[in-house]
Amino acid sequence: MWFEANPGSVGVRLASISPGEQEDTTSYPGHVFCFSKPNDEQGCRHSEFKITIQAGKSFYIVDDGSGTEEVKGKWDAQDAFNEEYKAKTGRDWISFWPRDPVKQHFHRAEKVGDVIKVKTTVPPQHASGAGHESGLLTLKVLSREPRAFLVPNFLTEEEANHIVSLGSKRVKRSTTGDAQKAQNSETRTSKNTWIPPRESEISARLFRRAAELANVTEEVGFEHLQLVHYGVGHQYAPHYDWQATGKGSRYVTLLLYLNDPPDGGATSFPLASPPMKVHPGKGSAVMFYNLLPDGNADIHALHSGMPVEEGEKWLANFWMWDPPELSPR
């Protein structure tokens, strides 16, 4: 599969797809994707098929006639399910299929501005050892689609500085794609590294606090904490965190803001209802759901790290999985 960046070009190779397999990518109406024979380096110039992305259509089937009856039956069944699902919900099914409903907890988001209080056994703790007396975390609804929440004062200044100090000397150029297909991309120009829960007492507390905030089990379902650094001009173009090529997917993203850039560096949600750009300030967090309760991916969860205009930006994020046992941690 190739992306035709310019008409008549070879294109950019994206993936090799075996019979009966599928591939997902973020795209926009008008983008052109080509499918060539294996090892044909001419890509889009010798393509067997071309697909132009259409607004409102998320699922495409390419059939060159070589598939087995079993493979064809699978795609026919998935196509029929999608038609029925779209008739009922008005949405395409864009998650892996077949997939069970989400097992993990969902906080309700009925109205923008609503507030939810969550008890934590590990409240934000200052260097003196004093924590918030109430032991309560606050989630304020930012958006209904996707379900997104502001979490003020999720961590203290000392905790934020500690996380930066743990990983600042080992951050490397960020990549896109999973571990098997990771690659450098101009869509993501930051640096990152990973922090396991047992790296320090503070990191262990943050894992437990994040689990209690989302009402999930921290022993399963978590990737390691990702620490990300953005310099001037660095960004992460609009993308999704969910996976559509496996039964497991990131179902919650929790973004921790670790400093205050002088200019730029907000997180943008262009398809949210309402669309929004947010940087809640050092120590606060934003949590949003990548999946819908029925297991489908939420197309409104598109988000981006906007360019830093001045200074630098430090961000950390937790990714929680559903089903939790399929987390890659």
| Residue 126 CB neighbours (<10 A) | 12
Determine the pLDDT at residue 129: 52
- Strand, helix or coil for residue 277: strand
CB 307 within 8 A of CB 233: yes
Which residue in 107, 149, 89, 96 sits closest to 296, CA to CA?
A: 96
Check: CB of residue 248 under 8 Å from CB of residue 327.
yes
Please report the pLDDT score of residue 172 as a whole number. 80
Quick check: helix, strand or coil at residue 163? Answer: helix
Alpha-carbon span 174 to 199, nearest angstrom: 21
Question: Which residues are bridge partners to 222 per DSSP?
Answer: 320
Per-residue confidence in pLDDT tens, the chain, 329 aa: 999 989 999 999 988 888 777 777 778 889 999 999 888 999 999 999 999 999 878 778 777 777 788 888 988 899 999 999 999 999 999 899 999 999 999 999 999 999 999 999 999 976 555 455 568 999 999 999 999 999 999 999 999 999 999 988 887 866 444 545 544 455 557 788 999 999 999 999 999 999 999 999 877 789 999 999 988 988 888 899 998 888 899 999 999 999 999 999 999 999 998 899 999 999 999 999 999 999 999 999 999 999 999 999 999 999 999 998 888 86
Residues facing residue 192 across a β-bridge: 172, 228
User: Residue 189 — φ and ψ, nearest 5°?
Assistant: -115, 20
User: What is the phi/psi pair of residue 277, to 5°?
Assistant: -130, 130
Which domains can be identified in the chain, with CATH numbers?
2-89 (no CATH), 115-326 (2.60.120.620)
Cβ atoms of 147 and 107 within 8 Å: the answer is: yes
Q: What is the pLDDT of residue 179?
A: 47
The partner residues of 277 in beta bridges, in order of sequence, read 268
Q: Which two tokens stand for residue 78?
A: 């998935």
Distance between CA atoms of 246 and 187, rounded to whole angstroms?
23
In this prediction the pTM is: 0.87
Q: Which two tokens stand for residue 225?
A: 């904490």
* Single-letter residue type at 328: P
